[in-house]
Amino acid sequence: MSIFEDYQIGSFRGIEFLWSEADGDLGRRVTVHEYPGRDLPYVEDLGRRARSWSMELIVAGPAYRAARDRLAEALEAPGPGVLIHPTHGELKVSVYEARGPRESTREGGMARFAVIFILSGENRYPAAAADGRRIVSDRCEAAEAAMGAWVSARLALAGPSFISADAVAQVEKMAATLHKAVVGLPELAGSTAIMQDIQSLSTSAASLIREPIDLSDSLNTILGDIVTAAERPLLAFAAL
């Protein structure tokens, strides 16, 4: 059995071709760090290099012009395509570089293309991710900036006694909301200081509503403790 019988019929995007030779390119992506006074460098491994294959594709025969044009269209089509490599089988590749068609009077009835295919993958890394600590910090800073004005506007106590009762209810509701939020965060739920501040906010609501600045300071203290715990998760975990 001839070794050539194991070769598959080459094609790209379904357009068949003949071939004469193919080269592969592989290895690792590295950065070499050389330091003064050290004879040996540090080589930083950044992962596998993109695999590529350099191939000479040939179309030949009485109707080679039609095959030439179809292969040229396939090589210029956008996005990755399926390459049937004669010795490596089916590969999902992108065309990195293509030259041709090359035709000559010495080789009538055929056209040659020099193509570099590169193995194509999914766009998975790097991926954007939300910065949870930054989000918590930004939102708490915005809340602190607006807290004084909000307290003064919402807790105006002039008028009947039911207004004071409503203000107390609002503060107790805020304390309950903070308690629920903190309990829902594993790294904060066991923080004794934060839970005590929230409890104090609730039990002191009747007096705090008459001192808006003190109420604002209490809320800012709780929010500041949450930010600190979020920015130092190991310390927050140790407090559990």
Distance between CA atoms of residues 97 and 56, nearest Å: 12
How many angstroms separate the CA atoms of 207 and 125, rounded? 54
> Backbone phi, then psi, for 164, in 5-degree steps?
-65, -40
Backbone angles phi, psi at 163, to 5 degrees: -65, -40
- pLDDT given at position 36: 92
Give the residue with greater pLDDT, 235 vs 176.
176
Across 42-51, 167-176, 188-197, least confident range: 188-197
Q: What secondary structure letter does DSSP report for 7?
A: P
Does 93 or 150 have the greater pLDDT score? 93
Domain ranges of the chain: 3-119, 132-238
Beta strands in the chain (DSSP E): 10-12, 15-25, 28-33, 42-48, 52-60, 81-85, 89-102, 110-119
> Could you tell me which of 170, 10, 159 has the C-alpha nearest to residue 83?
10
Per-residue pLDDT reduced to its tens digit, 81-136: 999 999 889 999 999 999 989 999 888 889 999 999 999 987 766 666 666 666 65
Reading the block at residue 2, the tokens are 């001839």
Q: Are residues 15 and 8 in contact, defined by beta-carbon separation less than 8 angstroms?
A: no
pLDDT band at 2 (very low <50, low <70, confident <90, very high): low
Query: Is residue 170 very low, low, confident or very high in pLDDT (cuts 50, 70, 90)?
Result: confident
d(CA 130, CA 137): 13
Q: What are phi and psi of 54, to 5 degrees?
A: -100, 125
pLDDT at 201: 73
| Domain 3-119, architecture per CATH | Beta Barrel (2.40)
121 DSSP assignment: -
For the cut 80, the answer to whether the pLDDT of residue 188 exceeds it is no
HSE toward the beta carbon, residue 132, CA cutoff 13 A: 8
What's the mean pLDDT in 179-187? Answer: 67
Q: Is the pLDDT of residue 160 over 60?
A: no
Please state, in angstroms and rounded to a whole number, the distance separating the CA atoms of residues 207 and 214. 9
Distance CA(34)–CA(236), nearest Å, equals 41
For residue 110, the model assigns a pLDDT of: 92
- Mean per-residue pLDDT for 42-56? 92
Phi, psi (rounded to 5 degrees) for 99: -125, 140
Residue, of 98 and 199, whose pLDDT is higher: 98
**Sequence-separated (6 or more) residues with CB below 8 Å from residue 25:** 49, 51, 52, 53, 54
pLDDT of residue 233: 47
- Percentage of the chain exceeding pLDDT 90: 35
The alpha carbon of residue 238 and the mean position of all alpha carbons in its chain are separated, in whole angstroms, by: 30
